[in-house]
Amino acid sequence: MTLPNWITFSRLLGVPFLLYGLYDSTPQARWVCVAIFLVAALTDWLDGYLARKLNQVSDLGKFLDPLVDKFLVLAPLLVLVELGKIPAWGVFLILARELAIAGWRVNQTTITGANIWGKLKTVSQIVAIALLIAPLSSDWQQVSLIAFWLSVALTLISGGIYLWPQKVSQAS
């Protein structure tokens, strides 16, 4: 396994600590959760950068990276639903898109990397989750929810864009 793939896999290590910390409502615990989440999210950039720089882009990495991203994003979102911070149906839309794309990828002979819309989706989710986790004043609650709904919209748009060319090419 390559260094970029090890970095991708290591991103999973932060998820249990993040989930545990989210149930502690103290500001200190929440800031620790934000730090864990952002460090884990930054490894998403790092593994991709290293894979390209070291010429170690692999099918395993193209498969593993989005899978680990799903754990990193969906795990805290589900806890935020449980804590009453965001509505479950918004997270359901994200989960439905992710399952649809994962199901589509299973039947593909070649695995493609994320396009710009997939990257925008990921960044918007990271920003939204960080804002929702952070112990910010109530003035930031509306901003956090707008960021969440923007990430839901970008998630659906990126899924549609990902599937649309595939559907068109199969019809011809």
Q: List, for residues 138-160, the tens digit of each pLDDT value.
A: 999 999 999 999 999 999 999 88
Q: Which of 2-6, 62-66, 162-166 has the highest mean pLDDT?
A: 2-6
pLDDT of 75 over the 80 cut: yes
pLDDT, tens digit (0-9, with 9 covering 90-100), for 33-58: 999 999 999 998 899 899 999 999 88
Q: Crossing angle for the helix pair 59-82 and 88-106, nearest 10 degrees?
A: 160
**Domains in the chain, CATH or no CATH each:** 3-163 (1.20.120)
Buried b / exposed e along 34-64 (16+ C-beta atoms within 10 A): bebbbebbebbeebbebbeeeeeeeeebbbb
Q: Which of 130, 126, 151 is CA-nearest to residue 69?
A: 126
> Rounded to an integer, what distance in angstroms lies between the CA atom of residue 19 and that of residue 21?
5
